[in-house]
Structure 1
Amino acid sequence: MRRTLIIIMLFAVLTLHAQHAVRGMIYDNTTRQPLDFVNVEIVQGDKVIDGATTDSKGAYSINIKQPGNYIVRANFIGYKEVTKNITVKGEVTNVGKLYIEEDSQQLGEVEVVGQGSTMRFELDKKVFTVDQNLAAAGGSATEALENIPSVDVDHEGNISLRNSESVEIWINGKPQGLTEENRAQILQQLPAESIKEIELITNPSAKYNPEGTAGIINIVLKKDGRAGYYGSLAAGISYPEGAAAPGWNVNGAINFTKGIVDAYFNIGYRQFRMANRMNSDRYNYREQDTLWLGQNGKGDRKSGGLFLRGGVNLRLGERSTLGIGAFGVVADRSIGTSTNHYTQKIMGEEEPLLQYDREETQKGKRPNYSVNIDYALRIDRRQDLQLAASYRNHSSDEDKEYRQTYLIGDFDDEYELQNQFRKNGKWEFKADYTFKITQNRRLEAGWNTTLQDQRSGADAKDDAGNELPYFYNRFDYKEQIHALYVTYGDRFWDRLSLQVGFRGEYMRRDTKSDGTANPTKDYWQWFPSAYLSYSFPHGHELQANYTRRIDRPRGRQIDPYKNLADPENVTFGNADLMPQYTSSVELNYLKTWEKHTLSAGFFYKYTDDCIQQIRYYNDELNRMEATYSNMGKKQDAGIEVVWKGRFSTWLQITLSANGYWQRLHAGDFTFDDKYPIHIKGQQTWAGSAKLNANFMFTKTFTGQLTARYDSPTLVAQGKRAQRYAIDLGLRKTFLNRQLALAFNVRDLLDSRNRIQEKWGENFYQKTDRRWRGRSYSMTLTWSFGNMKSKSKKDNDSGNRGQDDEGGAMDDFEE
């Protein structure tokens, strides 16, 4: 089979080798930004030899059979046609950049203007434009992520990619201190209006941190690069059905560019309300009978927070830039009234054994901030050096008050005031070197060190102020990771691209539980990567890649503290938990037509020491307990198809569909030396689909419909039921588009709930949770500024100082 594939590839290469490639890029002359979907033709006399449309980077490549003199002609609706005379001699003719100007007369005659692209495809990532997502207007980053293909957000704000929660969340190409413990709260405070686009990087190269076996979701924030100043102010209100009061948000942003200085500042405050609902039935199978526990709860969740972001980039000269930036969120969290009602009885009997209400009131603060400094130096035309240092801090301090009132039986009511805190600081240092050996060959090497120090704890008091010792916990965590990487890339015959990479990491972990040191964990690991891509004529591209990645357990996964917030369902961590490793293979295909784009991919992942949460019934304490364990091996495979089509200037549709196959291997575990658990091997098929339709009714009135469906899927010791939802959005602009009014309805069918079943040898549990119901919001935005196009010289030098905004396999320079 391997020989056959090699022969086919060699035949294709030799066949196309005799052709002559004409390559170039098309840019907007005013904004100096690349334009996609521009029609480019190669003309000789009155005859059109061949043509193509530009991709998301404004690039095109056209093959012709004969050398000679030709004309490159580019045209796009609303722009003046541009031409350039070229002479084709060798295998590749590089036309370079062509700048096209807006045609004011043509624009005045056009009654309906085209919509911007909401998504673009690159072989190493998919990029989704959020500032055109009407369904997220007035919302948060969490709500913007819910509308991204292959991304899922559960009722607690946990994010998964391709059916896996082992995913890294970055902001502007950096982790920014986001962890499993805090990212749900941070993303709830990050305004969707501040986001430019979201990148899905499912198989990053060895250059990037290998954390997250599912890949990286990179949130790119807005930062305008045009000379002068540009800003916006926005205010909105939202109301979820069932909430005690509406939520509201305000935010502002300004960008300033003059001379050698680029500066930006964002500020926003967001307060949201959610009406939560939960119902659960649990059956515990004992030798003499079956014990049933029914639980139903409701609550009005209120949270608010301040979001701040600012920075400045200085162009120190023709070859160097210095950037300083800061990012912060100060979140307030409280739950007005959250009440859970518990009933316990033996099946077949009328009278319950136990019945009580447990009321929770929660308040606290979660400040998060990060500061970074970046220096970029272009040593010469072939060599670049980038240095970066950053510090990130995440803290939380929360009080949780519980009142437990017994409705039957001779029990004393209970009161607990719990305090939980966490302090997490992290330093990161990076150096990245790039050597462009030739136009088609590139060598990259770098070093990366992270130093993390985290402390967490909990305690509690009763209504008399007495300490409750079984709540006491202190957990200290220190981690250091040192990494070196090297990658090499090459391009052959202008069509075949190859990149190989290798990354080595040393990791050391030291922990203490209540002052007692746990065994130190340290190890070396290697993370190779390989990419192979081939561009066929007429807009076809094919890529295959391989990476090895890691998911390191941290926080609540390894903290042995038993969380008694819900006395019937207790969770705790496992200090002996080890990382899980995933080897991933992907095959991607991309086809571009004049108005349509198709992306199709196949992936396979094999995971060793898979981390899963395991549940068991503690019959001595009559409660469910759950912890984490390395449960052996897991296999995942899937097909992912995304199609984007422009049917006219007023309608654009994006449709994505995913099919997953998952197999969990069997495993045996024992907890506390007395609770043996056997996990049966399972395998299942699951799928999901998302539809995004954008409408432009007039030049100033647009709409959007977003729908999604998730089939039933497998989880450890159980399954999750199907889900579906529909969102609607409308936007109207006024005053030459300086003023915009957006209205949207989220969860139109009131169907965004999560039903999950779990079972073991002596229990079965079914839970239905609703994080929020149908909600309505309205947002008013005013944009202002005196934007001007920057000179090409300023634009090119400024780009070298921008933040690294992701991308696993950068294209070679033109």
Structure 2
Amino acid sequence: MKQIFIALLFVATTQIFAQGQQSQTITVKGAVIEEGVNTPLEYATISFLDTNNNIVTGGITDVNGKYSIEVPAGTYNVQFDFISFKSKTLSNQNLTRDTTLPDVMLALDAGALDEVVVRAETTEVQVRLDKKIYNIGKDLTTSGATVSDALNNVPSVTVDVDGAIALRGNQNVRILINGKPSAIAGFGSTDALRQLPAESIDRVEVITSPSARYDAEGTAGILNIILKKEKTLGLNGSIVVNAGVPITSGVTGNINLRTDKFNIFNTTGIRYNDSPGNAFFENTFFARDDEGNIIPNQVGLISRESRDYQRLNRGFNTNLGIEYYLSENSSITASGFLRLGDDEDTTVNLTNDFDGNNNRIESRNRTEVETEEDTNYQLSVNYTNNFDDSGHVLSADFQFDVSDEIQNNLITENNTFPTQDVLPSEIVRTLEDQTEYLLQADYVRPIGENAQFEAGFRINLEETITDFELQEQFIVNGSFVRNDSLSNVFTYNEDVYAAYTQYGNKFGDFSFLLGLRAENTRLQGNVKAENLDNTTDEALVINFDNNFFGLFPTVNLIYEIAERENITLGYNRRINRPRGFFINPFPSRSSEANVFQGNPNLNPAFSNAFDLGYLKRWDKLTLTSSIYFQRETDSFERIQEDTGEVTSNGIPIIRTIPINLSSNERYGFEAGVLYNPLKWLRLNGSFNYFNFKSEGSFNGIDYGTTNDSWFARGSAKVTLPAKIDWQTNAFYRGPSNNAQTETEGLLSVNLAFSKDIMDDNGTIGLNVSDLFNSRKRMSLTETETFRSESEFQWRERQIQVSFTYRFNQKKQRQRPQRDTGDDEGDFEGS
């Protein structure tokens, strides 16, 4: 909507210069306010019409409902408009000198409310020079769901069955909260996003061509989650209660109190879930001759492992903040976030081993009970000073994040065939402490009418300390003895110092934004272990201190073909820094024969990416599309290999380890459609195809591969009689492969119903997630020494009912969102 107003203003201004009717220019000021509640109306339009009712010029109001517009001296009818409000006109205004018009009060237009409801309930997309903004609207399938679930409904984004988030099929995506790294997003992990309610999201920004103001981390791009913060004066809020099967329940409350001097906001949620899952693995090891050489196509051993997961998750989170207005143009915001988790997960592994003739050799049962206590808190302070109404802004942020996690794992095992024997147990204890400091400042200076200059810096200091201790029994019911060869304390520091500058301008229908970001990354690792000096495993000697300096240019262009049609072109260079668990070389213990081990020799990966986009809007249809290309050097790849070691039962141990490949090239095409053909029918869909090629080798094995894949999603929302809404979401991800593994296609369907009650202040809903229980990842891995088939289902089908109650919130009054410092600013070429 804002772009349309600006385009109208541009056309009207052009007409003024062409006509040349007035030589004297004056300034007209005033304010537009909502009648009855005295709330400023942001983005209300003011039109100056001549005696023939032709628009001469116009403008829009700012966040405080004020306007200041230059007008050729003359007599005008001044018209005031805002969506869903009745228009008002001040007739025959003789404007010959600088004038302040009286405040204009606009009243709600009851006849326009139905149209606004449609706008509020459909996903909207806004295209900027460096991002696409998706206002989620009323997505029924996210009622009572989590932020992770909501992201899975955003075009270009996929969420894997185990929660891994990918952008255009690339999992190296940076997750930001309100434009900053945050404990809310779990310091790059996606686990925390499964605990936060989807109701807390205002909008999601998909930034596939990030400008220089953003951290260069994330070769796929950035997902910036903007949380809700109400702008309406007075006390208002909502509460959401949900329950379902398998056992899931939660309560989330949002409350906001805003006055002329301050704004207090809070979101608090409690969740209790018992989520079952399952997995199956079949590892086939090829036979060897007397000299140890592999005999092709001859089976030596088959190990089949089935897993059942029971995850009991109990969580509490709260986000409390206050924004205090120091003056009309400046404010300071302080907020605190707290998340507490108390989880208990039980994993039961049933393993059966067979010889080459499929005769059972041995069976055993391995049970792992894991208790986990999490504490995450974040304190942040923001200062914003708007020097004037032109967008001249200085903002500064300080943020402190802490995450403490305590895991205790009791692993018991017993043989069930050919004899029944209880085996020695083991206890794994992991303490993980993460601390992060963030300091940044951003300065935006408009130059003239269309140009804008920006500059800023960011300092990010992060430390992760992982204390891992393994205690083992040597005899059944014996005492537990610390394993000094594997027990260790791993300290990992990632410090990033960055500065950027960028400049944007607009010439007619053409806009550009050019930027350069400089970053210095320091990666430091240190390990302490009792037997570190005595071990012959070089992987344990991981003390390192490396610095990487990089320049990251960005180019973003946009050409307005017409008022509702544009083309964008973006280029950026980015970095992928290895996370701590990718570097920590101590293997996981969740499975004896299938382990994950970090690689301390990983270096950051760098990418260059291009993106060409096209947007076209019709009255009832919006089309977005783009083609993209990316080349990444030293890209990460997870590979599986036979370690040459065996378990106590003689089963070969398969290790998964991340490595740097020499290069990875990816290109693709995506398109999205939003279509509202009828008042009672709303449709949207998206399609993404990508191809990638990787080259590289590790330990003498070539892991190069070429692959293509695609995914598509569609959503249909129907308004039934009795004001019942019905929504169906379908998602399909096509098959894919890398150098070793082929992954089958995946289909998932969600279904939801909703009905408003209590004069539209309440909503009841029914939500079925994964209707056909088909959201399973099935894959096949083949190497020279073994073949591995697997099937994994993180969460089984869920059915939920929810109830939402809103107080002092009118559902119909959905207004255009103003961009604030929360998302680090925007440049639209105007």
Q: Shared fold by TM > 0.5?
A: yes
1:320 CA displacement: 1.5
Distance 1:713 1:414, change over 3 A: same
Once the two structures are TM-superposed, the CA of residue 710 in structure 1 deviates from its matched residue by 0.9
Distance 2:469 2:521 in 1: 31
* Distance in structure 1 (CA, Å) of the matches to 2:720 and 2:115: 11
Q: Secondary structure at the match of 1:691?
A: strand
Q: Aligned AA for 2:756?
A: T
Task: Give the match for residue 568 of structure 1.
Answer: 593
**Counterpart residue identity of residue 515, structure 2:** G
* 8 Å contact from structure 2 (residues 640, 657) kept in 1: yes
CA distance in 2, matches of 1:479, 1:202: 24
Contact 2:330 2:383 in 1 (8 A): yes
1:271 match: 272
Match of 1:519 in 2: 544
Partner of 2:99: none
CA distance in 2, matches of 1:86, 1:505: 58
The one-letter code matched in structure 2 to 1:193 is E
Give the aligned partner of residue 203 of structure 2: 197
Task: Show the 5 A alignment for 1:574-723.
Answer: 574-621=599-646, 622-665=652-695, 667-670=696-699, 676-679=700-703, 681-697=704-720, 700-723=723-746
Contact 1:228/1:786, CA 8 A, preserved across alignment: no
Aligned 1:78-477 pairs, distance under 5 A: 79-81=85-87, 101=106, 104=109, 106=111, 114-116=118-120, 117-123=122-128, 124-130=130-136, 132-177=138-183, 183-240=189-246, 246-288=247-289, 289-290=298-299, 291-335=301-345, 337-347=346-356, 349-380=357-388, 383-409=392-418, 413-461=423-471, 462=473, 464-477=479-492
Once the 2 structures are TM-superposed, how far is the Cα of residue 465 of structure 1 from its aligned partner?
2.6
Contact 2:174 2:188 in 1 (8 A): no
- Displacement after TM superposition at 1:714 (Å): 2.4
The answer to whether the aligner puts 1:534 opposite 2:549 as a matched pair is no
Distance in 1 between residues matched to 2:602 and 2:525, nearest whole Å: 12
Q: Match for 1:761: what amino acid?
A: E
Partner of 1:782: 805
The alpha-carbon distance between structure 1 residues 72 and 541, as it changes in their structure 2 partners (threshold 3 A), is farther
Distance across 2 between alignment mates of 1:574 and 1:517: 9
String of CA shifts for 1:521-574, please: whole Å, max 9, x gaps. 112111000111110124210110100011100211001111122111111111
Superposed CA deviations along residues 97-122 of structure 1, whole A, max 9, x for unmatched, are x99956545258x6995342312221
Q: Identity over aligned residues, as a percent?
A: 25
Q: 1:480, 1:508 within 8 Å by CA — same for their partners in 2?
A: yes
> Which amino acid in 2 is paired with 1:368?
N
Give the letter aligned to residue 732 of structure 1: K
Q: Deviations over 1:44-63 (max 9, x none)?
A: 959999xxxxxxxx9xxxxx
Q: Show CA shifts across 1:443-474 (max 9, x none).
A: 11111111122100211223523223344121
Kept after mapping to 1: 8 A contact 2:491/2:525: yes
Distance change >3 Å, CA 233–CA 736, structure 1 → 2: same
Aligned to 2:348, what secondary structure does the other structure show?
strand
SS of the equivalent of 2:570 reads: strand
Residues 19-68 of structure 1, C-alpha deviations (whole Å, 9 max, x = no match): 7599xxx99957766789x9x9999959999xxxxxxxx9xxxxxxxxx9
- Report which structure shows greater RCO (CA 8 Å, sep ≥6): 1
Letter in 1 for 2:286: Y
Q: In the alignment, is the contact (CA less than 8 A) between 2:209 and 2:556 conserved in 1?
A: no
Contact kept, 8 Å, 1:112 with 1:650, in 2: the verdict is no
* 1:701–1:806 distance in 2 versus 1, CA, 3 Å: farther
- Tell me the alpha carbon deviations over residues 753-803 of structure 1, each in whole angstroms, 9 at most, x when there is no partner: 11112222222211111112221101112111388999x9xx99xx79x55
Give SS of 1:761's match: coil
Relative to structure 1, the CA distance from residue 530 to residue 251 in structure 2 (aligned partners, 3 Å threshold; closer, same or farther) is same
Say which is worse superposed, 71-80 or 122-131, in terms of deviation.
Answer: 71-80
Q: Specify the alignment match of 2:518 in structure 1.
A: 504
Deviation at 1:678, TM superposition (A): 2.4
In 1: Cα distance, 2:104 partner to 2:125 partner? 21
Residue deviations 1:218-264, cap 9 Å, x none? 12211111110101122110113xxxxx2210121210011210110
SS at match of 1:142: helix
Query: CA 1:215–1:105 in structure 2 vs 1: closer, same or farther (change >3 Å)?
Result: closer
Quote the Cα distance in structure 2 between the aligned partners of 1:630 and 1:692.
Answer: 38
Give the alignment partner of residue 487 of structure 1, picking from 477, 502, 505: 502
Q: Contact between 2:436 and 2:462, CA under 8 Å: does it hold in 1?
A: yes
Instruction: Note the C-alpha offset of 1:719.
Output: 2.1
Segment drifting more, 544-553 vs 179-188: 179-188
Aligned CA distance change for structure 1 residues 636 and 806 (closer, same or farther; 3 Å): farther
Give, in angstroms, the shift of residue 150 of structure 1: 1.8
Give the conservation status (yes or no) of the 8 Å contact 1:274–1:302: yes
Q: State the AA in 1 paired with 2:452.
A: R
Given the superposition, is the C-alpha separation of residues 589 and 102 from structure 1 closer, same or farther in structure 2, using an over 3 Å criterion? farther
User: 1:496 & 1:691 partners in 2: Cα distance?
Assistant: 33
C-alpha contact 1:706 1:727 (8 A) present in aligned 2: yes
Structure 2 residue runs of 5 or longer lacking an equivalent are 1-10, 18-30, 57-64, 66-73, 94-102, 290-297, 530-540, 647-651
Is the Cα contact below 8 Å between 2:272 and 2:312 reproduced in 1?
yes
* Residue 125 (structure 1) shift: 2.4
Match of 2:292 in 1: none
Q: Is the 8 A contact 1:131 1:193 kept in 2?
A: no
Q: CA deviation at 1:512?
A: 0.7
Change beyond 3 A, Cα 1:531–1:27:
farther
Residue 318 of structure 1: CA displacement? Answer: 2.3
Distance 2:332 2:660 in 1: 44
Q: Residue 41 of structure 1 contacts residue 74 of structure 1 at CA under 8 Å; is this kept in 2?
A: no
Aligned residue in 1 for 2:827:
810
> Residue 546 of structure 1 corresponds to which residue in structure 2?
571
> Does residue 559 of structure 1 match 2:584?
yes
Asked if 1 retains the 8 angstrom alpha-carbon contact of 2:760 and 2:811, the reply is no
The 1-side partners of 2:564 and 2:110 are apart by: 32
Q: Measure, in 2, the Cα distance between the counterparts of 1:786 and 1:576.
A: 54
SS at match of 1:562: coil
Contact 2:575–2:605 under 8 Å retained in 1: yes
Sort the Cα spacing of 1:774 and 1:592 in 2 relative to 1 into closer, same or farther, 3 A. Answer: same
595-604 or 144-153, which moves further after superposition? 144-153
2: distance between equivalents of 1:693 and 1:468? 56
Q: Cα–Cα, structure 1 residues 812 and 255, in superposed 2: closer, same or farther, change >3 Å?
A: farther
SS at match of 2:591: coil
Counterpart amino acid of 2:642? Answer: Y
SS of alignment partner, residue 365 of structure 2: strand
Distance 1:105 1:486 in 2: 47
Task: Give 3-state SS (helix, strand or coil) of 2:417's partner.
Answer: coil
